[in-house]
Each structure stands twice: as C-alpha cells, then as structure tokens.
Chain A
C-alpha cells in the first residue's frame, strides 16, 4: 500500500489568487494523478504527473490554470491559479504503486473560493 499526505487539508481563498497543494507519498512511485471532486459528485481526472516528464492534462484542464510539478518520486504539487468560485472543490492526489499497480488516494484538499 501507500500512505499519502496532502497540504493544506482545507483553505478558503479569494477570487483571483492562487493556491499550491502539496502531495507527499511514503514510497517511491512512478505514476501520480490529480483529481477533482465536486460536492456529491464522482472524481474527475485533472492530469497525470510522471517524474521526469511534463504532466499530461485531460480535456478541459490546461497547464496555465493547473500547473503541476513532479520534482521526485515521492512528491508533487498542483497549483490552482487565478481562482474563481467555480474552482471550489476537493482536490485529490493519487498514486499507483510500482509493484502492484494499485491506486491509493490522499485525504484531499477542500478548497473554497470566495
């Protein structure tokens, strides 16, 4: 398995500002993912972040709005830029273990934009 932590756990931000979310995993993994979950909804993939390469974004998500860094095999950040109230959501980091290909999730970051 993998133990994942995220910071911050929650934040309230003003429109037009940016927030960087950190994801730390307790073991080295190749594949990391960032998802968004609207209240009462399922998970939507934002991007896949592999160490050593550019993140791959899903349709509807762009790098200028959601820049991602993946500096090593245990850490990643997602920035939500120029926020609007529509960005209010839960942002989840996920990893796929290299040995078993199981995917585990962090506790999430609950973002409210006012």
Chain B
C-alpha cells in the first residue's frame, strides 16, 4: 500500500465549476501538507502549504487538512481552462526525512 493515495483522474469539469481534489495518507507522522500544480513539460509549482489540520485559503484555492481522517483536499472555485494541469499532493514529517512523499497526481481538464 502506498503511503499517499491520489485518484489519477482524469477529472473533466466545465469552466466555472468547483473542483475538489483529494488525497488520503497512512502515516500519522505527516504534519506538513502541500499541493503542487504541474503543467505539461514543466516543473511542479507550489500552490498551497499547510501545517497540521485546518483550512487555508488563497484566492480561488482552498486547502483543507483533516488529520483525524488522514485526508487532505484542494478546492478550486470558478475553475478556468488555465487550471487544466496535473495536481500533486505532497507531505512530510516534522522531523527526520525532509523530502516530500508525493501522491500520484490528478489530471484536471477544465472545458471552456
């Protein structure tokens, strides 16, 4: 079983829709949670960075962490065709290994 599970999609939505992207994880030691956006042939771009449980909002993006359920989400409001990309969740512990453990990525397509 992978430490981080993420539905690979593809997820296709119409422009303006609310998008929900999710990851589950098994290691309760994970405390830092990130979401990256990766366009084709580009490096991952950091979108959201949260510590422990709770919500964080940045423009059209909201990240949620539910540590009791080991479940994290990224919501995109008013989705745009430019949001079409692969979204990767990532996480790491507070101590020890500093590198990130990634989900497999969800490919999102926003149809105009």
- The residues of A with any CB-CB pair to B shorter than 8 Å are 1, 4, 31, 33, 41-43, 45, 48, 92, 94, 96, 100-108, 110
B16 at interface (Cβ–Cβ under 8 A)?
no
Complex interface: chain B residues within 8 A of A33 (CB): 98-100
Residue contact A102 to B46, C-beta cutoff 8 Å: yes
Classify the secondary structure of A's interface with B. Answer: strand
State how many angstroms separate the Cβ of A11 from the closest Cβ of chain B.
14
Residue contact B46 to A41, C-beta cutoff 8 Å: no
Residue contact A103 to B46, C-beta cutoff 8 Å: yes
Partner of B49 from the list A102, A105, A108 (CB cut-off 8 Å) is A102
Inter-chain pairs besides A4-B43, A41-B104, A43-B102, 12 sampled, C-beta below 8 Å:
A33-B100, A42-B88, A43-B44, A96-B98, A102-B46, A103-B34, A103-B100, A104-B46, A105-B36, A105-B45, A107-B42, A110-B41
What's the interface size class on B, roughly?
20 to 34
Given contacts A31-B98, A33-B99, A43-B88, contact A105 B105 (CB under 8 A): no
B32 at interface (Cβ–Cβ under 8 A)?
yes
Residue contact A105 to B43, C-beta cutoff 8 Å: yes
